[in-house]
């Protein structure tokens, strides 16, 4: 069934519709992105998992948010707000791009350079918010570029840590480790900062606690297996080279059927484990 409202735009994975002067409708599609590129292969029921898990967290985290109601299996109604052009990333483990930046000296942390090792304390690692490629940004640059005031940066940081802690405890109770998370915020019509976008396997890394072991890649119940496959196929290297030379990015490959099936299984498992509901 087609979503109601006036179509506004498509993001990497969501389609957005205007319902009225105060509300939008988010349609979570089965599209999947990696390395800021939308892939040609769809993941069945992925949109439903993202929508329902996001709704679950909005309802249970106890943090002001933009969701009004769940409108369907893959749609939610949200309040309009002015987005803050920062993606608030909190990392609890040395993994992904943080591992790369620590290894090359771009980021200095008091840790041994061991893949997937736990950080002494959660690390606030914001990025720009872009439809092309998100880039790391410092707190001072957020202020200097007018993305948020000093007080707002501290509020974003504090709330991001709060959500990371709450969701981490929920994950632990379900047998998982929350490695990191990406959050987005905006301001409502009163200027109040509230949580926006969504929270799900597209926005976090989630590892089974029973198989966790630092020093090697982790089994991820998110889209990390897709990233890993694209790396093994050489796509990320080709993409990085094209971006460095300002060339048009290469077309991403189709995902193999076994990877699609495994991604569906993992997304479903993390939804059911964290929400306590069947998909």
Q: What is the pLDDT of residue 2?
A: 61
| 6-79 shares its CATH topology with 82-235 | no
Domain over 82-235 is classified CATH 3.40.50.740: no
Tell me the average pLDDT across 89-94.
98
Domain borders along the chain are: 6-79, 82-235
Question: Per-residue pLDDT tens for 53-66?
Answer: 999 999 999 999 99
Tell me the average pLDDT across 250-258.
97
Asked whether the predicted pLDDT for residue 190 surpasses 80, the reply is yes
Which residue reads 């093994």 in tokens?
A: 232
Tell me the average pLDDT across 3-14.
89
Q: What is the pLDDT of residue 1?
A: 60
Q: What is the pLDDT of residue 4?
A: 77
Question: Per-residue pLDDT tens for 125-153?
Answer: 999 986 656 799 999 999 999 999 999 99
- Number of helical (H) and strand (E) elements in the chain, helices listed first: 7, 13
Identify the CATH number of the domain defined by range 6-79: 3.30.200.20
Q: Report residue 193 as tokens.
A: 């900062």
Question: Per-residue pLDDT tens for 217-235?
Answer: 999 999 989 999 999 999 9
Query: Rg of the Cα trace of the chain?
Result: 18
Of 79-83, 99-103, 132-136, give the lowest mean pLDDT range: 132-136
Whole-number Å distance between alpha carbons of 124 and 89 = 6
Q: Which residues lie across from 178 on neighbouring strands?
A: 206
Q: What is the pLDDT of residue 33?
A: 93
> If 0-12 CB within 10 Å is exposed, 13-18 middle and 19+ buried, where does residue 68 land?
middle
**Residue closest to 160 by CA, chosen among 196, 209, 192, 189:** 196
Question: Cβ contacts of residue 245 below 8 Å, gap of 6+?
Answer: none
- Element containing residue 20 per DSSP (H, E): none
Q: What is the pLDDT of residue 131?
A: 60
């Amino acid at each position: 069934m087609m979503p109601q409202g006036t179509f506004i735009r498509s993001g990497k994975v969501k389609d957005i519709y205007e319902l009225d002067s105060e509300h939008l409708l988010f349609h979570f599609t089965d599209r999947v992105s990696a390395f800021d590129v939308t892939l040609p292969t769809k993941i069945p029921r992925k949109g439903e998992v993202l929508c329902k898990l996001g709704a679950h967290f909005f309802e249970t985290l106890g943090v002001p948010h933009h969701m009004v109601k769940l409108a369907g299996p893959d749609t939610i109604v949200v309040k309009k707000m002015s987005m803050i052009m920062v993606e608030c990333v909190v990392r609890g483990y040395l993994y992904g791009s943080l591992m790369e930046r620590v290894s090359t000296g771009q980021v200095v942390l008091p840790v041994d350079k061991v893949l997937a090792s736990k950080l002494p304390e959660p690390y606030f690692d914001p990025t720009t918010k872009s439809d092309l490629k998100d880039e790391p940004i410092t707190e001072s640059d957020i202020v200097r570029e007018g993305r948020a005031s000093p007080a707002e940066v501290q509020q974003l940081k504090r709330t991001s840590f709060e959500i990371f802690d709450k969701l981490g405890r929920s994950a632990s109770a379900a047998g998982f480790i929350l490695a990191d998370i990406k959050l987005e915020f905006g301001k409502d019509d009163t200027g109040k900062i509230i949580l926006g976008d969504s929270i799900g396997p597209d926005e976090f890394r989630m590892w089974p606690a029973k198989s966790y072991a630092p020093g090697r890649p982790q089994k991820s119940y998110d889209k990390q297996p897709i990233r890993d496959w694209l790396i093994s196929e050489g796509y990320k290297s080709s993409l990085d080279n094209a971006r460095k030379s300002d060339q048009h990015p290469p077309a991403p490959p189709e995902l193999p059927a076994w990877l699609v099936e495994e991604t569906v299984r993992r997304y479903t498992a993390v939804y059911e484990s964290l929400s306590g509901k069947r998909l």
